[in-house]
Amino acid sequence: METYKNFKIDWNYFFAGLICILFIMSRWFLPEFVENENIYSIHPLKMLDPEYLENDPFMGGISYFNIIFSVACLPFYALFDHLIAVMIIRVIIWSFQIWALSKLTKTLGLKWWAFIFFIIIWLNVPTRLAGEWVIRSAESKPVAYGFIFLSINALLNDELKKSGIFSGIAVSFHVLAGGWSAVALFITVVLNNYKNREIKEIICFGINLLIFSLPGLLPAVYGLIGFQGSSEISGTASLINQNVDKICVTFANPFHLDPAYFIQGVEAIKVIFLFTVPIFLYKKFLKKEKSRAINTFLIILIVTFIIGIIARKLEIYKYLKYYPFRVADGLLPLNLWIGFSLMIQTVFDRLKYKKILACSLIPIIMITSNYLIDISEPKRRYSSFKKLLKRTEPRETAYRTKDTLERLHNKFVKKKFDGFDDMANWIKLNTPKDSIFLTPPWKYSFALKAQRAQVVTYKCVPIDKSLLAWKQRMEDLNGGKFIQEGKGWMYKELKSNYPKLTEYEILDMKKKYNVDYILTTNNGYKNFNIVYQNKIYTLYKIT
């Protein structure tokens, strides 16, 4: 009872958190499935209906991963329409993350107004390198990051038991993000023995970490070992594994795994900036014990990143395959802006009207930061000040809010016609459940909306030897090998070449993959039967 009596709500931080959640909703509370949701929403649906997509060659193995998150989401998918369930889960995750972040930032000394300042800058300045993000959609990774924040917070408060528990739960929700952070946290605990901790405290941290990571770790390991992959490929095991590792890094996921892809030219300066400035800011504006602990954690993340760069130079694809850039790319920019907000808070605490002045700085920081990023990344360079300003606060918030409200209205009130949604709904209602479809491979939402198996989709990438079969199928849908590899270039080729597939190529895939239908924008196939057509898409029965 004493615990409840001593429990107090920091109302300033409480309302700051609400503001931040509304701010996030202005960006991502959309009435549509976000990219990853199109795949990860299938996991709980397969639990509710084991026959769901049973003919899809790449959906079976992924159910072993993110199983804890899928189980937690089951009630929402059982009670609500899939999209409504996803939108509810998003808000729950955002609320949890903001709460976890607020606990961490309070420990680091941020006041409520500086917390809002930090959230706005962090979510509006695109400082990512390897395509990692922390807050966005209804999936397991954002939940894992929330527990990582709680684990770091417990560590800074010298609560090692709690830190180990939270870190283990993070692993259970997302093995890769939670795993790399757990490694960094454990090494941090071992190295930072500045309070002469007994060895049993460190052992206790490790035991808690292990025990609470098992619910997610064991199914993931079982899925990785037990899923034997496709029978479409053959060859010696060592050669297959080498090819799979290289294809995974350089072909399927270069935007996450290949530093040669996402660190080019002057972006090396950005890497150095992101890796050194947070450590300097924490050392300057935090107490010694806290700065030492969190900087050790960040340095270990930097080391994993640097080892990844070296591994790429030495072509050690096995190491790169396990996403060594993931947590570093997500947490270093976050800590950069926490440290920056601490600096701004320190300066403005000495001035009158400090909160108003601090908020007025937001547009200036947005414009300056985005401009510097744009000139360092030629592919993203904007041609005019007006377009650059559109990305900044408060105009960006107003623009996103207007766009979100329009989409909500079109989805639930006006019900604006969408050619792909119309086609997916017709397929769900009018084709056999065991049908297999050739579909535009960039349309991730087909399996979720139409509830039918696909020959292949870009988003659902296997991690075992069946990756070779996945690559072959992608090339078949492209009408041949890709000229350039990597997400952006592959998209361009697929969108150009998929509608141009010949009847001969389609019939060949029918023999190889037992395809029943093809969904395309090409309405010129004379020897196939049109079973449904709208303004954009045509569905053919392949005969």
Per the prediction, the chain carries an average pLDDT of 85
- Give the integer Cα–Cα distance in Å for 32 and 26: 14
Q: For 250-283, what is each residue's pLDDT tens digit?
A: 888 888 999 988 887 777 888 888 899 999 999 9
In this predicted model, what pLDDT tens digit does every residue of 521-530 receive, in sequence order?
A: 988 899 999 9
**Each residue of 146-190: pLDDT tens digit?**
999 999 999 999 899 999 999 999 999 999 999 999 999 999 998
Taking 90 as the threshold, does the pLDDT of residue 371 lie above it? no
According to DSSP, residue 380 is labeled G
Split at pLDDT 50, 70, 90, the class of 375 is low
Q: What is the pLDDT of residue 338?
A: 96
pLDDT category at 458 given cuts 50, 70, 90 is: confident
Lowest mean pLDDT of 128-142, 301-315, 507-521, name the range. Answer: 128-142
With residue 193 as reference, give the H or E element that holds it. none
Could you tell me the pLDDT band of residue 461, with boundaries at 50, 70 and 90?
confident
pLDDT at 268: 82
Whether 43 and 174 have beta carbons less than 8 Å apart is answered as no
In this prediction, residue 532 carries a pLDDT of 95
Per-residue pLDDT tens over the stretch 478-533: 998 888 765 557 788 888 899 999 999 999 999 999 999 999 998 889 999 999 99
Q: How far is CA 442 from CA 100, 149, 459, in A?
A: 34, 33, 8
Which has the closest alpha carbon to 138: 78, 83, 212, 208? 83
Identify any residues that bridge with 541 across adjacent strands, giving them in sequence order: 517, 529
Whole-number pLDDT of residue 378: 52
Contact 262, 255 (CB under 8 A): yes
CA–CA separation, 348 vs 357, rounded Å? 8
As a whole number of angstroms, the distance between CA 126 and CA 38 comes to 24
Buried b (16+ CB within 10 A) or exposed e, 260-270: ebbbeeeeeeb
Q: 453 with 470: CB under 8 angstroms?
A: no
Which pLDDT score, from 0 to 100, does residue 234 have?
A: 47
Name the residue with higher pLDDT: 198 or 154.
154
Angstrom distances, CA of residue 12 to CA of 99, 239, 242, 344, 453: 13, 59, 54, 19, 50
Contact call for residues 307 and 319 (beta carbons, < 8 A): yes
**Per-residue pLDDT reduced to its tens digit, 23-38:** 899 888 988 888 889 8
Domain boundaries, the chain: 2-30+65-224+237-388, 419-541
Number of C-beta neighbours around residue 11 at 10 A: 9
For position 233, what pLDDT does the model report?
47
Q: Is the pLDDT of residue 206 over 50?
A: yes
Instruction: Tell me which of 239 and 169 has the higher pLDDT.
Output: 169
Q: Rounded to whole angstroms, what are the CA distances from 461 to 59, 118, 120, 248, 471?
A: 9, 35, 33, 9, 9
User: Which residue in 28, 64, 38, 69 sits closest to 450, CA to CA?
Assistant: 38
pTM of the full structure? 0.88
230, pLDDT greater than 50 = no
β-bridge pairing 517-520 and 436-438? parallel
| pLDDT value for 5 | 46
pLDDT-derived band at 95, boundaries 50, 70, 90: very high
Could you tell me which residue, 23 or 93, shows the higher pLDDT? 93
Chain position carrying tokens 């804890």: 68
User: What is the average pLDDT across 140-148?
Assistant: 96
Question: Is a pLDDT exceeding 80 seen at residue 465?
Answer: no
Q: What is the DSSP letter of 32?
A: S
Task: Give the sign of the dihedral formed by CA 230, CA 232, CA 236, CA 238.
Answer: negative
pLDDT computed for residue 225 by the predictor = 63
Q: How far is CA 497 from CA 18, 144, 466, 476, 483, in A?
A: 47, 38, 24, 10, 12
pLDDT in the model for residue 259: 92
Task: Give the chain's length.
Answer: 543
**Amino acid letter, residue 136:** R
